[in-house]
Structure 1
Amino acid sequence: MNSSEIRNKFLNFFKSKKHKIVSSSPIVCKNDPSLMFVNAGMVAFKDYFLGNKKPTQLRITNTQKCLRVSGKHNDLEEVGHDTYHHTFFEMLGNWSFGDYFKEESIQWAWELLTEVYKIPAEDLYVTVYKGSEEDNLSIDKETYEIWSNIISKDKIILCGKKDNFWEMGSHGPCGPCSEIHVDLRDKIEKSKVNAAELVNKDNPKVIELWNLVFIQYERKSDGVLINLPKKHIDTGMGLERLSMVLQGVSSNYDTDIFTGVIKEIEKISNSKYGDNEQKDISMRVIADHLRAVCFSIADGQLPSNNGAGYVIRRILRRAVRYAYSFLEIKKPFLGNLSEILIKKMSSDFEELVTNKQLIKSIIREEELSFLRTLDQGLVMLNSLTSKSKDKIIKGEKAFELYDTFGFPFDLTKIIAKEKGFKVDKNGFELELEKQRNRSKNAGESFVGDWIVISKKNHNSKFIGYDFLEAEISILKYRKIDSKKEGISYQLIFDQTPFYAEAGGQIGDKGKINLKDGKFINITDTLKEGSLVLHITKELPEFSSPKFIVSVDKLFRHAVECNHTATHLLNLSLRSILGNHIQQKGSRVSDKSFRFDFSHFEKIEKTTLDKIEIDINNLIDKEIGLEVQTNVSTEEAFKMGAIGIFGEKYGDKVRTIKFDESYELCVGTHVNNSKELWRFKIINETAIASGIRRIEAITNYSLKDYYNHRLKEFDSINNLLNNPVDVVETIKNLKNQSNKLKKNIELLENQRISTLKNQIEGKLENISGITKYIGIVDIDPKQIRNLIFSIVKGYTDILILMICHSNDIVNCSCYISKNIIDKTGITSKILFDPVIKKIDGKGGGQDFYSTYSFVGSRPNEILDLCKKSISKLF
């Protein structure tokens, strides 16, 4: 039975039990600040458990894409070193929202495992929650009695809170759980020790297969448990582990889920899986990480330097490093390897096929980028380990590898471990925290409990498509105390005209109107799950049951103009560049908008002009808005509607139409295209391989833009004494300027030639390295040209020059590639101790960098540089 059949048997079994099969949510979490990625099957249904949203179906089943890189059994560094850790995995699950409970859940789980999957009943064991004095809970008798009617009591193991009590977080819905374990040992091993003694003891042959969670309590912020008004079921069973059991193999990586990719890695690396432990680890790392990266990109998360994007970059770089170091694969290969994975999963996950070219392109670009610095980083790391006597890599050096070469900490830790070294994690985190503080990114916050004002349904009904002002009741609020923002409040209304940030459109601003003309500003509107959070800096008095709230009309209209423009831009791009254009994201504010889309080359200025003209023609056509609500998603797509990359849509959707533009969209828009006034592209650039970004403005911001340009033109005109032909006058001035520049350049080249001859006479060769370190009388702008004129023809040379102008000391350093390859020492490393003593600004590449120091003396900088060089060489 292959994994696809196993998956479908699970879903169809629960379909026969009147469950609705729903598609997996995207792996990237949206509207949930507590998570970057979906890490369990229940994440998509949190709002149902919290009571924030009413389920349309009481019974649901699916296979959910999940990603875990930390926590119990999920440390990234462990993946590949055994046969069962994974970053990406599929969680098969069934849910009940206030419908059936323990009896049905347990009976159906047993039926599926023993009758459908044919797992021998004698190999199955179960756990039951034994209670907790801390929580004042006794044994889960109901579950124990149900299991007692199915299997013998000696196969029921009582376990504590650690293994058999599930919690969503520090507070919220929770409850006891019952795990089903399977004994995979051979007959001889089974005869020696009873499997009941090995359950939850980390025995690789007695493993958990399925977890049945009975959500019946809510934990308050003070730790107290209260009964939920409705009880829910949440179950999860990993497809990879289930496939291993049913296919009779000893490793998840021996299942059909991974074997195709591993066989291809064998061909590429000219290695055989099973012949060498280190190579086996590397193949498992690559096979696992490829899935995580491909699915994340397909669901809209591109690699980047922060947040969820950095997690994906870490995973990808770990795969590249294992291929490079242990399989001798020195060129990009993961992009092409992804085709094997995509083909394998295509029938069950269409998003992989749709985004195949994007996935390949982005992975290849990431590989190329990391391979450029990997070799140099490894040289530096080897240098550190060869010089260290205490077998510890200092935290500041680990941070330097991270900051300069893009080595995630866990990658440095893995390489160090292979060499018998440890890494100072505390020191690394201290350096990282310093960087965060310098970047002002630290933003811890305290989130208070919800204070309930009214016990009505806590779902805010959105009425903002039709009204910008409304009478509302405040249902509940909570206090937020943030280091960065200070104290604020999040308010939930019974109904709201305020649009909450979603679909790339920022949230509305406005006010709560009080008596005597006073008001409280609503500074932002956000979404958390299905809750609409209205952000304020103060609270109204709750003596009044009702308040009038109003949206800032001008702000909303400016946002609507820009949001509508994204639709027209999407239409124009597809018309002019081709139907391969796919929206990959957007950010719409009142001032401007950005629009990210798939395209594999720079858009020329003439084409951008054509796009501008096309959109302005659409504006001039005065196209009216056509809105349809509660449209069947399937029908909308059949009619040609376009969706957004990485979004999951429900059964019913809202569609927006302007002329030929037809999209699924929940945002707000103008009623007629003429309201945009004009459209202007401000910038076009690449943000990733195969992803372009256009930034543009309309209406209010565009009027400000034109007014500013007119003032600039008037100023230029006045400076030129109001000539008849401004353009011709500027051309003449430019020609004169170019002639002067050429004369200056000639004089500067003569000066550089003279200095070059003087310095070449002062070059010293010390221990095989040609050096010059000194202060030079030269314009800072010319120091680079001087240095590069000297280093030609030298393979091992280090040049450090200092010059000063006014109150600024400029210091530039060149280190030849040959020296860097031998020692791992770069120009940035050389400057590190200098800028720690005297604050300087600058940077550059490994072989050449420049730093500037304000208010310092040249000789002081020279002495510090000499000390740094003497220590390093």
Structure 2
Amino acid sequence: MSDISVNEIADAINNMSFDHPEWPMKKVRSAFIDYFVKTRGHKFWPSSPCVPHDDPTLLFANAGMNQYKPLFLGTADPNLEISTLRRACNTQKCIRAGGKHNDLDDVGKDVYHHTFFEMLGNWSFGDYFKEEAIEWAWSCLIDVYGLDPSRLYATYFGGNSQTPADTEARDLWLKYLPPNRVLPFDAKDNFWEMGATGPCGPCVEIHYDRIGGRDAGELVNADLPDVIEIWNNVFIQYNREADGSLRKLPAQHVDTGMGFERLTSILQGKDSNYDTDIFTPIFEAIRLLTGARPYAGKVGADDSDYVDMAYRVVADHVRTLTFAITDGAVPSNDGRGYVLRRVLRRAVRYGRQNLGAKLGFFSKLVPTLVEHMGEAFPEIVRKKEFVIQVIKEEEESFSRTLDKGLSKFSEMAENAEGGKFKGEDAHFLYTSMGFPMDLTELMCEEKNLKLDVEGFERKMAEEKELSAAARKAKMSGGSGKEMVLEAEQTASLISRDVETTKDEEKYVWEKNLATTVKACFIGRNETEDKTGFKDTISKSDGAAGLILQATNFYAEQGGQIYDTGFIKSPTGTLRVDNVQVYGGYVLHVGSVISGTFTCGSSATCEVDYERRRPVASNHTMTHVLNFALRDVLIGKEGETEGPSIDQKGSLVDDEKLRFDFSWGKPVGQDALAAIEGVCNAQITSSLSVNTYIAPLNDAKQISTLRAVFGEKYPDPVRVVSVCDTPIQDILKKPKDEIWKDYSIEFCGGTHLTNTKEAGAMVILSEEGIAKGIRRITAVSQDKAKEARNQARSFAERVKEVEALSGGELESETKKLKAELDGLQISCVAKADIAVVIDGMIKRVKEYRQKLIAAKVKGAEEACAAEVSKAKASGVSKCVVRYDFGVDGKTAQKILKAVAKDVAVMIITADVAGGKYGAFAAAPKTSDVDCKKWVEDTFKDIGGKGGGKKLNATRMIEGVDTIDKALEEARK
């Protein structure tokens, strides 16, 4: 491997004479966007992050339509701009490396699979459908890109027992292609589903024959590089339910996906995606870094040394990791983090083993990728240093175990019987060596071994089921019913002219709200029409929900927990246990505890404001904490250079606040003390907490504004500031340096009116939860006061114990040490107290050492006296009773000093511990068998022990037989 620097790599690549194709990748991308925006009236809608922060059902964005899922399901927030879309197009960042759509195992083995790729897409949301989608796909490929029509094949869904064939799509394609190039296929190829549940429908695919001049119909969907799928039109008509059934969506949609990398290879006249200008600069960087031979495009048996496979794996995987880490994911031991760890370790293993790369090569590829793709995706430019840091640390961590793991695998493979690699061996490599299962499986393939994965997969399935059950239990209140609104529910409400819920009153305090019941809900699939809506609900319905004309309940969102309370009508009472919002409809879930509710009747919302009060306090202090972190860890100069702090998640409830943020190392105690100090200084400063609804673009101009990456904000947007200056005045001079002293954020949550209402803020803990992600948990108001009082009281106890000495100090210090770990107090105060207790523990150790030394001296003197008597009497052994506890090391030290001329047995008790021991030793010249001596002594007493001729021991529970032991030993 060359020791070439990153800058030298960049210079070398810039000076190389690459081919300059007629269709460079930038032109391929822009031509698609221009066609649909300028010619077909679509709105350009930027790619969403490839890490879907607001969709727990997906590990990664695996298709262009993922961010539009709320539109397909009818649950889009009507306040967001996305809800107004009718037609859209973009190039979407996608990752297929886990879950239902997973290409990880195929990457490297062929020349057209990727874990990261771009999906060129155009969408219709209840606007145009099959006819326009097929016509425009044909026009784009033929008229814009100039593809040869004779090389194109179309496929359609041929139907099955559950769903009829899509003959409409077939007939539309016959307008452009002859029957022998319009082919039916089954659901595997032509019925698209985003996941195990969710929007889905039949699709038509367009395949391209790279060779041409032949009938390639039999080669379509044969997984061959010469006939490949380039375009997929999904006609989203259904929703896949949890029970596997299909339900028609209230509106029909079109989802188009065209493989950017595949199309680019066709337009550049290459047989492989990896031979295009998308990959050639990355390959050159790999060559320069590793010193490997140039990439030759070999596959299968031709690639006998796996060098070309390694090139493809490393180049693909650095793209995946760079974009995923940029968009908010990091390698870890679960979920998408575990997938990224697998991807990284697979790349590092191929680089090290097949390309001859040395430690640290992989992170050095990031600058080349950023230079190459940063214009199209500027976010990777901004996050370059963070990505390099995360990959470098993870690479180093894996490299420390890689060589050892490879050696262990080889040993296990040699011992494999019947061509099978044991599942327990794979599990050991995973838990002890950090080898992902698929990496072990790949190495097994290379040695013609079959890996037994059944046990591993069973455990993963069990965990997934537990997670799904927990989510369902949360949403159903433990009832087991689906208390959620999806497309058919929101469509049913719209068809009955039920308007979305007015919820502006959620920001009003201490005031009940008069409203009207608009819909009664008992759960999806719980009524004959499956929508779950009834005219009347009562106690007999179990878990139930209400949709109201207006509400003052806060629906769970933005990390803040929902409100609870009661909804009362003249005829009944509903206890509200959960509040969620779907497409603007606020669903109040709970139980009817008396009477009935009927659609159209009047009702009164009674929020539990006592419960909301600490929630609001914790939410306001989350904003203050976000400000304090930046202020202490980075300073007022900002984040234009060096590390940054981005919010990675939060949880606010009535017990605590939890804040996750990006930071590459533990926050030290001094920094935590300073952060806690900043937060409490803002409380004692009695700063106003202001809110204002501002135009989104105006609010974005505030220089110190904090927004959550990947979050979609409405226009206008609600701004929350912790500052005495009204937000309207801040907007008049948004770039003023003074705003660096205050927290200003976009937020839709409930807050205090003044920081003094928080009373105090205490940081309970700071910990790492993933690579580069830290978590702070804190409390405010009464919980903070309680934590302070506990800390103060405990510190006083520590001071009292500190004044003790000897045995009293020892016993009390043990109690304090055990109690400290479980205390819910400031982690700063806890660390300070721990230092004091550590000092006390040191004193205890010194005391014990002196005590032991005194006991050893006393025991040696007692033994010496008995040994003298034995020698004077001419006997070969003696027995001594001297209590110094039952520590074996102490006993051996004493025996070494005294058992020089005669054999000695010391019997010593730990009276407080309720046990005693016997320790015997003899000089080498002695004919005494200590093991037999001990066995004979305790044959009727019992106990446990062992030893050899010259040294033996026995431990006995209880001390009531000690006199008998002495008597037997002396016989």
Task: Identify if the C-alpha distance between structure 1 residues 611 and 117 changes in structure 2 by more than 3 Å, giving closer, same or farther.
Answer: same
Matching residue's letter, 2:36: F
In the alignment, what sits opposite 2:627? 571
Deviations 1:649-677 (A, max 9, x none): 46553322222322222332222222222
Offset at 1:335? 1.9
Map 1:405-804 → 2, pairs under 5 A = 405-430=433-458, 448=482, 455-456=496-497, 460-463=501-504, 465-467=506-508, 469-470=512-513, 471=515, 472-474=517-519, 476-478=521-523, 491=545, 493-494=547-548, 495-513=550-568, 519-522=574-577, 524-525=578-579, 534=588, 536=590, 543-545=597-599, 546=601, 547-576=603-632, 577-578=634-635, 579-580=638-639, 581-585=644-648, 586-600=650-664, 602-629=666-693, 631-633=695-697, 636-637=700-701, 640-649=704-713, 652-659=716-723, 660-688=742-770, 690-712=772-794, 738=842, 741-742=845-846, 744-745=848-849
Task: Identify if the C-alpha distance between structure 1 residues 749 and 244 changes in structure 2 by more than 3 Å, giving closer, same or farther.
Answer: farther
Q: Decide which of 282, 300, 305 is 1:261's aligned counterpart.
A: 282
In the alignment, what sits opposite 1:831? none
Offset at 1:255? 2.0
Offset at 1:641? 2.2
Matching residue's letter, 1:582: I
Separation in 1, partners of 2:442, 2:334: 21
**Structure 1: 5+ residue runs without aligned partners?**
482-486, 723-729, 753-776, 787-804, 809-856, 861-873
Q: Decide which of 26, 37, 57 is 1:4's aligned counterpart.
A: 26
Offset at 1:68? 1.5
Task: Identify if the C-alpha distance between structure 1 residues 717 and 264 changes in structure 2 by more than 3 Å, giving closer, same or farther.
Answer: closer
In the alignment, what sits opposite 1:140? 167
Contact 1:479–1:489 (8 Å) recurs in 2: no
Contact 1:27–1:66 (8 Å) recurs in 2: yes
Task: Identify if the C-alpha distance between structure 1 residues 9 and 514 changes in structure 2 by more than 3 Å, giving closer, same or farther.
Answer: same
Matching residue's letter, 2:845: K
SS of structure 2 residue aligned to 1:366? helix
Deviations 1:261-311 (A, max 9, x none): 221111121112127550111121111111221111111112221122212
Offset at 1:507? 3.4
In the alignment, what sits opposite 1:396? 424
Task: Identify if the C-alpha distance between structure 1 residues 606 and 168 changes in structure 2 by more than 3 Å, giving closer, same or farther.
Answer: closer
> Is 1:232 aligned to residue 253 of structure 2?
yes
Task: Identify if the C-alpha distance between structure 1 residues 2 and 327 changes in structure 2 by more than 3 Å, giving closer, same or farther.
Answer: same
Matching residue's letter, 2:750: T
Q: Decide which of 8, 13, 16 is 2:35's aligned counterpart.
A: 13
Task: Identify if the C-alpha distance between structure 1 residues 357 and 236 changes in structure 2 by more than 3 Å, giving closer, same or farther.
Answer: same
Matching residue's letter, 2:562: G
Matching residue's letter, 1:151: L
Contact 1:32–1:529 (8 Å) recurs in 2: no
> Is 1:30 aligned to residue 60 of structure 2?
no
Separation in 2, partners of 1:115, 1:49: 30
Deviations 1:615-670 (A, max 9, x none): 33322332223323352247514654222234344655332222232222233222
Matching residue's letter, 2:190: N
Separation in 2, partners of 1:146, 1:582: 52
In the alignment, what sits opposite 2:338? 310
Separation in 2, partners of 1:432, 1:158: 36
Offset at 1:743? 5.0
Separation in 1, partners of 2:944, 2:462: 28
SS of structure 1 residue aligned to 2:598? coil
Separation in 1, partners of 2:889, 2:45: 65
Offset at 1:410? 1.0
Deviations 1:365-415 (A, max 9, x none): 111111222222222222211222323222222212212222211111111
Offset at 1:493? 2.6
Separation in 1, partners of 2:764, 2:222: 61
Separation in 2, partners of 1:60, 1:501: 29
In the alignment, what sits opposite 2:69? 46
SS of structure 2 residue aligned to 1:310? helix
Offset at 1:859? 7.2
Contact 1:362–1:688 (8 Å) recurs in 2: no
Deviations 1:178-197 (A, max 9, x none): 22111111x5xx34xx0233
Contact 1:623–1:672 (8 Å) recurs in 2: yes
Task: Identify if the C-alpha distance between structure 1 residues 264 and 393 changes in structure 2 by more than 3 Å, giving closer, same or farther.
Answer: same
Offset at 1:332? 2.1
Offset at 1:457? 5.1
**Structure 2: 5+ residue runs without aligned partners?**
1-22, 473-479, 527-540, 724-741, 805-833, 857-883, 894-911, 916-942, 947-971
Separation in 2, partners of 1:304, 1:732: 35
> Is 1:367 aligned to residue 389 of structure 2?
no
Q: Decide which of 310, 325, 350 is 1:322's aligned counterpart.
A: 350
Task: Identify if the C-alpha distance between structure 1 residues 100 and 419 changes in structure 2 by more than 3 Å, giving closer, same or farther.
Answer: same
Separation in 2, partners of 1:410, 1:309: 15
The sequence identity of aligned pairs, in percent, is 37
Matching residue's letter, 2:575: I
Offset at 1:217? 4.5
Offset at 1:747? 7.4
> Is 1:85 aligned to residue 113 of structure 2?
yes
**Total equivalences in the alignment:** 749
In the alignment, what sits opposite 1:793? none
Separation in 1, partners of 2:266, 2:325: 30
Offset at 1:528? 7.0
Separation in 1, partners of 2:483, 2:774: 42
Deviations 1:425-447 (A, max 9, x none): 1133456679999x999859676
Separation in 1, partners of 2:101, 2:467: 33
Offset at 1:702? 0.6
Contact 2:59–2:98 (8 Å) recurs in 1: no
Separation in 2, partners of 1:378, 1:599: 32
Separation in 1, partners of 2:467, 2:238: 39
Deviations 1:580-634 (A, max 9, x none): 3422323333222233334455544444433333333322332223323352247
State the TM-score, normalized to the length of structure 2.
0.69
Separation in 1, partners of 2:95, 2:835: 59
Offset at 1:573? 3.2
Matching residue's letter, 1:238: G
Contact 1:213–1:235 (8 Å) recurs in 2: yes
Deviations 1:298-345 (A, max 9, x none): 111122211222122121121122222222324122222111112222
Separation in 1, partners of 2:185, 2:308: 35
Task: Identify if the C-alpha distance between structure 1 residues 681 and 261 changes in structure 2 by more than 3 Å, giving closer, same or farther.
Answer: same
State the TM-score, normalized to the length of structure 1.
0.76
Offset at 1:236? 0.9
Separation in 1, partners of 2:464, 2:185: 42
CA RMSD of aligned residues (A): 4.1
SS of structure 2 residue aligned to 1:38? coil
